[in-house]
Structure 1
Amino acid sequence: MFNNSVSIPVTDDLPDEFGGKMRSRPRRKRRKSEFRGKSELANRTCKQLTRWWPVLLFVAAVLLLVFEASKLGWRSSTIKSDLDTREKKPNVVVSPVKKSEGNLNRLDAPRCLKLLPPEELEHLDFPHDKDSFVPIKKLVYISQNDTPFDKTSQQEMGITRFNQFTGYQTLNQRDQSFKVNETACVHCGFYSEAGGFTISKEDKSFMNSCKSVVSTCTFGGGDDLHQPIGMSDASLQKVCYVAFWDETTLATQEAQGHVFNKDGFIGKWRIVIVRNLPFRDQRLNGKIPKMLAHRLFPNARYSIWVDSKSQFRRDPLGVFESLLWRSKSVFAISEHGARSSVYDEAKAVVKKNKATPEEVEIQITQYTLDGLPQDKRFNGKKALNEASVIVREHTSVTNLFMCLWFNEVVRFTSRDQLSFPYVLWRVKVLKNINMFPVCIRKDLVNSMGHLRKAKPLALGG
């Protein structure tokens, strides 16, 4: 039996060639182990990063916040220093950051508003007096001389903002004012000569000459004056443009270099300075030219109201023709863009801190007691409005409507969206009203938003 195993002695006496090959293997192993060591180091590093990446991310975020905070602190200190060294005038509202006016002077073609062609607008004129049925033959405005104020009626009025300008309307007088006969009696501002909203004789004379008017106002220095655009030559000759300012706005605008000429104009606008504003709340002061244009312009047949945050950009005569004459309407106002129900709007007003919950509750409770329905629409139209643009003919019915609307705003909240549907519901004779869609309102104006917060009066109602 043979042994097939072969033993290979390993000695140092191997040939050089064979020995060299044997010595080369350890060198390759050392290079391979060196590579494996680097890979293990990389793997350990990746594992540590995977384990601790949230901590590293948190540290980076903290460092970034600290850096940004230091930048903000530097900016605020710079702004404060700049404001401290800036020369200030009494009653001037300074706005360090002016909002963008990217929409200013944008005169694109209307999408929804149907205007006559330009050549027809140039020959447009007011229609002749209509021989239509008028439910109210005579409208009487209650004044201090007509109805002496009885102090015992204050308990009936409750907590209100009525004063010498508005008259002291009782709840019974409020209820009677909604009962329309051939003769209607109503409180409608300007109750007493001592009530405020004082206008110079020169300005009154100009306002009495207006047969139609586009008006706006800025009280408390809140907004700049945006020049109207898009009007025809015929409208420039037949329509007044009047902007009501108080003395605070006058000082604010003069500080910015906006000074009216010797005739009282800045561009197309005739500036009317109002003194002795009757309310501390500037929003309420702004309701006077907004709602009582028929009192301020007694000889005007038509008017367009434009909020100060907007730039009117259409031909006034064309707007009258499109929104009133063509549809045989006497009143035109935009539908609300978001809601339909008065009660939903009340919740939104409170949620957005536009009025206190207590005053909104008083108003809605009164409307519920009066029987205002929960329906979201009146005669197929939205109940809510957006009143930044109001187009109307000055008739006995529309004048009464605006007086009643103004009194509701004075009695309850300054949010006129809440009271508009109520007055529309109570005044049954106002039927030919044009509640136009939001897209037409956007065609009428360029909206810039309010530039700065209006400064309240130090004294007032």
Structure 2
Amino acid sequence: MGKSTSSLLLHSKLFFFFSLLSLSFTLFLLFNPSSLPRRCIPVRFLPSDLIQHPLFFYPTSYGEHKYAIPTVRSSCTISVPFQNYMVVFREFQDSMRNSTLSEEKRRLRYLSENRSTFAGNFSTKERRSFFSFNEGQREIPCGFMKDFMLSNSDRMAMENCRGLVIVSAIFNNHDKIRQPKGLGTKTLRTACFFMFVDDKTIEGLKVHNIVLNKTGETKIGVWRIVKVLQELPYQNPAMNGVIPKHLVHRLFPNAHYSIWVDAKIQLTADPLLLLHSLLISKDADMAISNHPFNIHTMEEAMATSRWKKWGDIQSLREQMEAYCENGLQPWSRKKLPYRTDVPDTALILRKHGIRNNLFSCLLFNELEAFNPRDQLSFAYVRDLMKPRIKMNMFEVEVFEQIAMEYRHNIKKGEGASYAVKSKMASTKDIDGSKCEKYLAEMWADSHD
């Protein structure tokens, strides 16, 4: 009897010991996020610094977390070196307080308000001349902008955004409005969040009883909802989306920094920390992720055709041949520190200044001249532009740590925008092409 009791007591103690060990390990994981296999970001928030409450209460029917794209990595090999949140916040506040509009910024602001035009219908020689900026020039050539019709109150709010602006857009009810995660309590005092929408997107919100204009200011969580009045400038919703995506410095002439976030992306880290880590600490004009698969522009063009992201095959061919004729080269080590010719443009961090503003305008020119697939024009503009833009092209693994990606709204009966039948490429198509040398170099490099 005594031995039995002693044995039971021993088992109870062992069970209690292993239970405590298991609990301690679980608590260690919960309160030490950097130890988790999928969390490579050393989060240094104090509990009071992190916004704990939901930023907006969506009706269950809206499904803001529908269509999430899972990551396939089981562990992280690259960490994001974040600084202490309060240190970053104070540094950002000081830089904004001490900054003044230089003569160059005044000139850029004047140009953004007076919008010189460049429609992209110039000759090859004329078009190439627009890729250089000389200090003696009185104007920076910039893309033709079919302006958004906005309310006066929205325009005033946009002009009053003077630090960091986070921008997104949903047209044709193509995505969900998702709230960012991991915000510090002081970030909303410093950063502005603007979401551009059209009538169809507003109607989609009303279906789910998400009512706007209750207090006179249209907000959904952190996002100020800016409704584009009357008709959109372009028939293609994607082309309308590239206005706030690539001409953000014109829409927000007094902002010093901006972060573009595709509506299919949900930020999971504080924007100030992202800006400091990926842009400011790298002394870069722009920070953008590598594409997860493609390195060469031509690879992306082929994928665009194959997956019917742009169905007009002939126009894609003409675009690539124009770029090959005007100097586009496949990626090679000679292009370092640019580590790829194809970025993932779903998340773009920018410092507003002469180089980045010129790059954004020139890229917009190409999108308007050909199509809104900005990954196809990216390297062409970047490589030919002078002065050379400083760009931090970070790994896609970093992108997966700081953002969650979702699919677009899935709607029955809606397919590709352009129902053009694709045809397989053949050597007959390549022989004599203006891209023959490009392809030969690209394929030779891929076999090395």
The TM-score range, normalised by the shorter chain, is 0.5 to 0.7
Q: Which amino acid aligns with 2:356?
A: T
The one-letter code of the counterpart of 1:176 is S
- 1:135-159 Cα offsets, whole Å, 9 max, x none, are 9995575999967xxxxxxxxxxxx
2:90 corresponds in structure 1 to 123
Which of 214, 222, 226 lines up with 1:272 in the alignment? 226
Counterpart residue number, 2:262: 307
Corresponding residue for 1:370?
326
Q: 1:444 aligns with which of 402, 426, 429?
A: 402
Question: Contact (CA 8 Å) 1:277, 1:285: kept in 2 or not?
Answer: yes
Does the CA contact (< 8 Å) of 2:198 and 2:228 recur in 1? yes
Would you say the 8 A contact 1:123–1:234 is kept in 2? no
Given candidates 189, 207, 211, the residue that maps to 1:259 is: 211
Query: Deviation per CA, 1:243-282, whole angstroms, max 9, x where unpaired?
Result: 0001110111111122233211111110000122111111
Alignment pair present for 1:210 and 2:161: yes
Q: Does 1:346 align with 2:313?
A: no
Per-residue CA deviations over 1:63-89 (Å, capped at 9, x if unaligned) read: xxxxxxxxxxxxxxxxxxxxxxxxxxx
Matched with 1:64 is none
Normalising to structure 2: TM-score of the pair? Answer: 0.68
C-alpha change, 1:396 and 1:98, in structure 2 (3 Å) is closer
State how far apart, in whole Å, the 1-side matches of 2:90 and 2:114 are.
45
Residues 380-416 of structure 1 show CA distances to partners (whole Å, capped at 9, x for unaligned) of 4111101000001110110110000111111112211
Verify the 8 A CA contact 2:120 2:366 in the aligned structure 1: no
Counterpart check, 1:360 vs 2:316: yes
- The alpha-carbon deviation at position 224 of structure 1 amounts to 1.2
Residue 396 (structure 1) aligned to one of 354, 362, 368: 354
Give me the CA root mean square deviation. Answer: 3.5
| Match of residue 241, structure 1, among 190, 193, 200 | 193
Residue 243 of structure 2 is aligned to residue 291 of structure 1: no
In structure 2, what is the equivalent of residue 335 of structure 1? 290
The change in CA–CA distance for 1:146 and 1:311 in structure 2 (over 3 A counts) is: closer
CA shift at 1:329, angstroms?
1.0
CA distance in 1, matches of 2:130, 2:112: 11
- Give the whole-Å Cα distance in 2 for the aligned partners of 1:245 and 1:110: 38
CA contact (8 A) 1:243 1:269 kept: yes
Question: Would the aligned equivalents of 2:290 and 2:340 in 1 still touch at CA under 8 Å?
Answer: yes
Paired position in structure 2 for 1:426: 384
User: Partner letter of residue 358 of structure 1?
Assistant: Q
Task: Give the Cα separation in 2 of the matches to 1:186 and 1:272.
Answer: 28
Matched letter for residue 174 of structure 2: G
- Is this contact kept in 2: 1:122–1:232, CA < 8 A? no
Residue 379 in structure 1 maps to residue 336 in structure 2: yes
Counterparts in 2 of 1:218 and 1:455: CA distance versus 1, 3 Å: farther
Distance 1:324 1:146, change over 3 A: closer
The Cα shift of 1:455 comes to: 11
| Structure 1: gaps of 5 or more residues | 1-93, 148-165
- Please tell me whether the aligned partners of residues 64 and 176 of structure 2 are also in contact (alpha carbons under 8 angstroms): no
User: What SS does the corresponding residue of 2:226 show, helix, strand or coil?
Assistant: strand
Query: In terms of Rg, which structure is larger?
Result: 1
Q: Deviations over 1:102-123 (max 9, x none)?
A: 87xxxx9996322123443453
Q: What CA deviation, in whole Å up to 9, does each residue of 1:358-390 have, x standing for no partner?
A: 011111110111021123452241111010000
Q: 1:135 to 1:121 in 2, by over 3 A?
A: closer
2:130 to 177, 180, 183: 177
Alpha-carbon contact 1:178-1:426 (below 8 Å) kept: yes
Moved more, 353-362 or 295-304: 353-362
CA distance, structure 2, for counterparts of residue 316 and residue 97 of structure 1:
20
Q: Percent same amino acid among aligned pairs?
A: 30
CA pair 144-306 structure 1, distance change in 2 beyond 3 A? closer
For the residue of structure 2 that corresponds to 1:215, the secondary structure is strand
The 2-side partners of 1:145 and 1:307 are apart by: 25
CA offsets 1:297-332 (integer angstroms, 9 cap, x no match): 011000000000111121111111101111111211
